[in-house]
Amino acid sequence: MSERDDILARVRQGAPRRTRHPGLHPPPALPGGWDVFAAALAGVGGEAHGPYSPHALGGALKELVRRRAEGGRAVAEPSAAELAGRGPWETAREPATAHAFADVGVALVKGCAAAADCAAVAVTESDAPHRALPFLCQRLVLLLPVSLLAPDLHRAWALVPAAAARGHHVTWISGPSKTADIEQVLVYGAHGPLGLDVVGIAD
């Protein structure tokens, strides 16, 4: 064996061995349910309501919107308006520019999935076609069927409709906007809604 062959043989012996990928790491078993979600949401500055049966939803929403609107307009995305029924809100229509939502006190938007551990609610383009509405309103109200609530973000992603990948965006919302950059003082509504309410809808 030549010196070259000897060197190459030792290099091959020291080369990393190929092993089969162990597969996806299974997520830990976390507690789920509406109570866990509500507690996590309260921890990030939001408030959970319900869950309400479909026939009680309209009355509960009307009362909530009246308290939150504070003289501003209430606007619902079409899918949220379909769930909410008739009330003190108008349905967002096309064409609508971002400037059309500058005076919105309350926006109603439907969520398509949620994670209980971090109180994050997924909103797709199909449920929020007016992208500026959930961020320009003073108060955001998310409507969430409790059947779309998963214990953690991994399982919640699996509940997001596959068609959402063909849309412009999937936005995960957890609590109202906040910042503590200035003198370490926590401020709500620095770059978005002042408050977030999530209304659960029972199956």
How many Å apart are CA 131 and CA 113, to the nearest integer? 18
Query: What's the chain look like in SS3?
Result: CCHHHHHHHHHHHHCCCCCCCCCCCCCCCCCCCHHHHHHHHHHCCCEEEEEECHHHHHHHHHHHHHHHHCCCEEEECHHHHHHHCCCCCEECCCCCCHHHHCCEEEEEEECCEEECCCCEEEEECCCCCCCCHHHHCCEEEEEEEHHHEECCHHHHHHHCCHHHHHCCCEEEECCCCEECCCCCCCEECCCCCCEEEEEEECC
Q: Which range has highest mean pLDDT (87-96, 112-121, 176-185)? A: 112-121
The fraction of the chain above a pLDDT of 70, given in percent, is 100
pLDDT of residue 52: 96
Among the listed ranges 3-12, 52-61, 82-91, 110-119, which one has the minimum average pLDDT value? Answer: 3-12
Among the listed ranges 60-69, 89-98, 154-163, which one has the minimum average pLDDT value? Answer: 89-98
**What's this model's pTM, rounded to 2 decimal places?**
0.83
pLDDT, tens digit, 9 for 90 and up, residues 114-170: 999 999 999 999 999 999 999 999 999 999 999 999 999 989 999 999 988 888 889
Measuring CA to CA, which residue among 169, 189, 149 is closest to residue 48? 149
pLDDT, tens digit, 9 for 90 and up, residues 12-28: 887 777 788 888 877 77
Residue 57 amino acid letter: L
Domains and CATH numbers, the chain: 31-201 (3.40.50.10420)
pLDDT, tens digit, 9 for 90 and up, residues 32-64: 899 999 999 999 999 999 999 999 999 999 999
Partners of 139 in the β-ladder: 106, 195
What does pLDDT average to over the chain?
90
Partners of 113 in the β-ladder: 122
Higher pLDDT, 175 or 78: 78
